[in-house]
Amino acid sequence: MDIVFIEDLAVETVIGIYDWERKIRQKVVFNIEMGTDIKPAATTDTIDEALDYKAVAKRVISFVEQSDFQLVETMAERVAEIILTEFDVRWLSLKLSKPGAVRGSKAVGVKIERSK
């Protein structure tokens, strides 16, 4: 299996459990690895045969910008479901970080792996 990845995709959204968090937009950062077969795209050299990472990124951005979750766990699960359902991806590893959520740390978050 080959891996197509999206690294450090930053999106502004409403996320958090505290009242003050519900009133602001915060940055979340995605690192996504997607298992697929790149041979058809490499053979034809056309985007029609490729996993279009730009389309994946645009879909994730659109969904996350409009979302309103309390937990990063819920957001990670929903984004993974979208990618596995809407794109030719058999497996994915998704890391969702919330920078600045804990004082003294660069970021906190979750990393999940899901497959069809």
- Active-site annotation holds for 27: no
Strand order in the sheet with 68-69: 68-69, 2-15, 26-36, 91-99, 107-115
Helix, strand, coil content of the chain in percent (nearest 5): 35, 40, 25
Separation in Å, CA 70 to CA 49, 78, 86, 94, 98? 37, 13, 24, 18, 12
Choose the catalytic residue: 95, 98, 111, 116. 98
Cα 2 from Cα 55, distance rounded (Å): 18
Q: Which residues are catalytic?
A: 98
